[in-house]
Amino acid sequence: MSAKLKQRTSLIGLSLGADLCWPACYEAILERMNLSVDMGHETVRFATERVTVEPFDLQQPVRYDIVLDRLTHWFTTSREWIKKAVVMDGLYVLNNPWSLQSMEKQTTYAAMMRLGLDVPKTWMIPPREHEANPDVQSTLNRYAKLFDIGSVADKLGYPLYMKPYDGGAWVGVTRIKDREELQHAYNSSGKRVMHLQESIEDFDVFVRAVGIGPQVEMIRYNPDKPLHGRYEVGFSFLTGEEWSLLTDQTLTINGFFGWDFNSCESLRRDGTFYPIDFANACPDFQVTSLHYYFPILVKNMLRWSLFCAASRHRMRPTLDWEPYFDVQRRDLPFRERLAAYADITRERMETERFKAFCETHLTHLDEVAWEFFGDPLAKGIIRDKVSAMYPQHEIEPFTEHFWGLIQFWRKTERDRLKARDEVAE
Ligand SMILES: Nc1ncnc2c1ncn2[C@@H]1O[C@H](COP(=O)(O)OP(=O)(O)O)[C@@H](O)[C@H]1O
Ligand SMILES: [Mg+2]
């Protein structure tokens, strides 16, 4: 039967900057899977290509079925090529470029406060310095109210955080313990528009929940460690209910903003989770920070992108917030409300169809990835990444360090697969 089906090769574009390791692993595993997926009306095979930067005709057709993008948030040419490709050709891109361009931390805080998440109290402060242009001057002369930053801080209490309203990568973030430090931090903030935010003190768990489509991976995070040790390998730092709550919270955020790939940071204090930073729609995807979790995220990216490419999952250029607000207006207890938000996202992400796709067509992914991450080729990719980041004398020890953690993942993964197979029997 399948011999008569129409054949299609689905082209997956990788729009990349400094990323070395995940694309190389993604491509190698995909090749080893040698997929030919029977979608009922057609057979789909897959190929990847690195998207290049070059002049383009706004009307030139797009060859890709999906683009996995890592440049949009800062590289204008690629972002604008992607936006035109979505508008003109219906390209599926991960993540939504308009949402990435326009949703800063500030909007995500406000939206999630409205939906009822426990975002810490936050104020926005007009910047210390402004552009020296006549319009700005006359606007300020007419309308800028003199304010005492100290009395805003008093409403939040010390310690508190000053951080850019559109922040990322920890730039410009200051922990402040009194009025003097506050004044100093504000005086040094220049033209950046800042938030003052209540600090969540004495938290006992810091979680980064990384969503890729409907799949959410929970990783314990320790901001005090050096970069290679911040993601901590841990297995029982959350209860089942907490895991489910953070999954629903992440899906709520990601569905609301049209982000297929995003990392949501929450701090747990006295059993409550406070989301503090969840506008990270180009999350860290480097083996040099993710180590143990790296193969898991590579697999999650393969599953979700292959599903989107094969099924022609529909790109949503517009965000459509109303259904979330409709749920918010219903007088439900918070946990039920959160589950209802997450269900909207699950439906938008065609979660049931996605699961069926994985169970039918990607059954050998686990095995192929397990073999791959024990292969010298994978070790070479890790060494390349380490070489790009570390000084010469640290290349070997750090390659061994990350390789060792990946071998530890293979050990736990083998146990997981064995347990799964035993349940299936
Ligand atoms: N409200 C807060 N309470 C406690 N710690 C915070 C708070 N806000 C930020 N931090 C600390 O500062 C770090 C950087 O702040 P974050 O909002 O995540 O900025 P970025 O977008 O630069 O990652 C966080 O990882 C956390 O360690
Ligand atoms: Mg952060």
pLDDT digits (tens, 9 = 90+) for 288-345: 999 999 999 999 999 999 999 999 999 999 999 999 999 999 989 999 999 999 999 9
Expressed as residue numbers, the domain containing 23 is 2-102
pLDDT of residue 86: 96
Judgement on whether residues 194 and 54 belong to the same structural domain of the protein: no
Considering only CA atoms, which of 344, 354, 311 is closest in space to residue 44? 311
Q: Which of 150, 168, 198 is a domain's end point? A: 198
Q: Is residue 353 part of a domain?
A: yes
How far is the centre of ligand 2, averaged over its atoms, from the C-alpha of 95 (Å)? 18
Would residue 78 be called left, alpha or beta, if left means φ above 0 and alpha means ψ between -120 and 50 degrees?
alpha
Judgement on whether residues 280 and 149 belong to the same structural domain of the protein: no
pLDDT of residue 425: 78
pLDDT digits (tens, 9 = 90+) for 203-222: 999 999 999 999 999 999 99
User: Average pLDDT over the chain, rounded to whole?
Assistant: 96
The DSSP letter of residue 161 is: E
Q: Is residue 51 part of a domain?
A: yes
Judgement on whether residues 309 and 170 belong to the same structural domain of the protein: no
C-beta 265 within 6 A of ligand 1: yes
C-beta 167 within 6 A of ligand 1: yes
Judgement on whether residues 174 and 255 belong to the same structural domain of the protein: no
Q: Structure tokens of 243?
A: 């895991």
Judgement on whether residues 252 and 375 belong to the same structural domain of the protein: yes
Judgement on whether residues 275 and 175 belong to the same structural domain of the protein: no
Q: Is residue 267 part of a domain?
A: yes
Q: Is residue 41 part of a domain?
A: yes
How far is the centre of ligand 1, averaged over its atoms, from the C-alpha of 369 (Å)? 34
Q: Is residue 337 part of a domain?
A: yes
Span 152-167, average pLDDT: 96
Q: Is residue 109 part of a domain?
A: no
How far is the centre of ligand 1, averaged over its atoms, from the C-alpha of 300 (Å)? 26
Q: Whose CA is nearest to atom 19 of ligand 1?
A: 170
Judgement on whether residues 305 and 359 belong to the same structural domain of the protein: yes
Judgement on whether residues 171 and 235 belong to the same structural domain of the protein: no
pLDDT of residue 3: 56
C-beta 202 within 6 A of ligand 1: no
Judgement on whether residues 160 and 84 belong to the same structural domain of the protein: no
C-beta 263 within 6 A of ligand 1: no
Ligand 1 atom showing the smallest separation from residue 279 Cα: 21
What is the total count of domains within the chain? 3
Judgement on whether residues 308 and 392 belong to the same structural domain of the protein: yes
Q: Which of 160, 179, 198 is a domain's end point? A: 198
pLDDT of residue 2: 44
C-beta 162 within 6 A of ligand 1: no
For residue 169, give the ligand nearest its CA: 1
The DSSP letter of residue 66 is: E
Most informative mutation of 107, 166, 173 for ligand 1 (most atoms within 8 A of CB)? 173
Q: Is residue 111 part of a domain?
A: no
Is residue 230 within 8 A of residue 163, CB to CB? The reply is no
Task: Tell me: pLDDT of 1 over 70.
Answer: no
Q: Which of 73, 102, 131 is a domain's end point? A: 102
Judgement on whether residues 157 and 126 belong to the same structural domain of the protein: yes
Q: Give the number of other CB atoms < 10 A from CB of residue 170.
A: 9
Judgement on whether residues 75 and 128 belong to the same structural domain of the protein: no
How far is the centre of ligand 2, averaged over its atoms, from the C-alpha of 263 (Å)? 9
